[in-house]
Amino acid sequence: MTKNSDCKKFYVIGLNYKKADVVTRSNFSLSKENQKLLLSEAKLQNINSVIILSTCNRIEIMGFAKHPFQLISLLCKYSKGTVEDFAKVSYVYKNSDASEHVIRIATGIDSQILGDYEIVGQLKDAFNLAKQAGTLNAYLERLFNVALHASKETKNKTSLSSGTTTVSYAAIQYIKDHYSKKQPQNILVYGLGDIGQSTARSCSEYLKAHTITVINRTNSVAHDLSKEVAINVAEHDELRDKINDSDIVIVATGAANPTVLSDMIPADKKQLIIDLSIPRNAEPQINELENTNVIDVDVLSKKTKKTIEERKKQIPLAEEIIQKYKSEFYEWLMFRRSTPAINSLKKSLEVIQQDAISTHSKKHQQMNEELLENVTSQMINKIVSKFAMHLKSENTQANQSIKVMKDVFDLETTEN
C-alpha cells in the first residue's frame, strides 16, 4: 500500500434488502453521475481507493479510510439518505471481514434470490467505473479478481444458480419446456408493471424465435419498453383482437377484478393463458374452456420454492469455495506485506557480505574475490528464501517475525 493508506483500514459500509425496505434503499441509491462525483470527492479527501456498488437491492461503498464515517458521509452527501436513517439499517465490515463480504457477494450466496448472478455484472460495472475514476489500488484490483474467480467456480461446481426462482422467469421456463420446439408462437404480454416488464424482457431475451407483443393501459410505458427490447406494441383498445391472434397470453395486470374475460378467448384454437396477477386477472370461467390451458402463480410458485430448497443444499459447497478464495487472497496479501521486509533483509545481508569481502581482501591478497562473492551470494539467497518460506507458513505470526528481523538487522520496512 502507499503511504497514504498507512493509517487506513479497508471498510465496506452499506445497506441491503435484509434490513432496508425498498423506500429506504431508494433514498440511498446513487445515480451514475453522483457516483462519479462521489469518487472525485473521495480523491480530494485523500481516500484514494474506493468502489461504489449501487443496485436495487444493495448500496455499498468499499474503500480505505481512517474511519468508516468518512465513507458514510460521502454516501449521505450524494444520496437522499441521512446518517440517522443509515444507522438504523446499515452494516460496516472491516479488513478481513470486509474482504470476505466482497467474495460472498460475487458468489451469489448473499443475493436476495439465492444464487442470483446478476450481481456479477453489477460488480464489474462498479469496478470499471472506479478504474476510470482512478480510485483503485492493487488491493482492490486483486480482491475483485479473486471474487470473480470464486463466482465462476461456484457457478461451475455447484447448483447454486440452477432452476427458476421468480414466477416471471418460471413462466418463461414453462414456455421453453412446452412450446420452444413447436413452430414460432405469438406471445402477448398484457400489463407492464414490474412483473410484466420483467416478463417482457425475459421473453425478448429467451424466446427470440417467437413474436412478442405488449399491451399496457398507459401506452407510453409500452413504447418506452419497446425502445429497450425487441417487442411489438399494440394499443389497449386492440386487446380483444390481439388475444384472438395469440397462442400464448401472459396476464400481468394489477386490477382488482378480471381484465381478461372468457368471451375474449377464441373457441377454435388451442391457447395457453399464464396469469401472473394477484388477485388473478384471468376470469375463472376460462378454466372451463376446452382448448385453453390456464397456469397461475400458485403453479409457478411451487417450481420456484422447490428451486430455492434445492439451492440451499448447495450452501456448504459454496462456503468451502468462499473460504478457499479468502485464504488465497490473504496468502497474496501476506506475501505482499512481507516483500519490503524480505528485500530489506537481502540488502542488509549484502552490506554484511561486502564488509566481509573487503576485510578478507585486505588480509589475503591472493583471495579470489569473484568466487567468494558468488559463494556468499548463494548463501544470502538461501537465507532470504528460507525467511520468505517462513513468512508464508500457516503457523507463522508474520508481523512478529518481521519485527524480530527488523530489530536484529535494523531493517527499513514500510508498514501497511
76 is catalytic: no
Rounded to an integer, what is the distance from CA 231 to the centroid of its chain?
A: 29
Distance from C-alpha of 23 to C-alpha of 204, rounded to nearest angstrom = 29
Beta strands 232-233 and 91-94 are unpaired
How many CB atoms sit inside 10 A of residue 113's CB? Answer: 18
Q: How many helices (H) and strands (E) does the chain have?
A: 15, 10
H or E segment at 60?
A: strand 58-65
Kind plus residue range of the DSSP H or E element containing 188: strand 186-190
Marked catalytic residue, from 7, 56, 76, 203:
56
Residues 2 and 64: beta-carbon distance below 8 Å:
no
Query: Which amino acid, one-letter code, is at 68?
Result: P
Task: Cell numbers for 23, please give them.
Answer: 423506500
**Among 138, 134, 102, CA closest to 119:** 102
Dist. CA 77–CA 40, nearest whole Å: 13
Instruction: Give yes or no for a contact between 186 and 213, defined as CB atoms under 8 angstroms apart.
Output: yes
Return all residues near 157 (Cβ < 8 A) that are at least 6 apart. Answer: 317, 321
Which secondary structure element, helix H or strand E, spans residue 65, and what is its range? strand 58-65
**Nearest residue to 303 (alpha-carbon basis) of 198, 126, 167, 146:** 167
In angstroms, the CA 218 to CA 314 distance is: 43
Query: Are residues 38 and 29 in contact, defined by beta-carbon separation less than 8 angstroms?
Result: no
CA dihedral 44, 46, 49, 53 (to 10 degrees): -50
Burial readout 53-90 (b: 16 or more C-beta within 10 A, e: otherwise): bbbebbbbbbbbbeebebbbbbbbebbebeeebbeebb
Cell of 63: 474503500
What gap in Å lies between CA 71 and CA 302, rounded to an integer? 42
Supply the residues annotated as catalytic.
Answer: 56
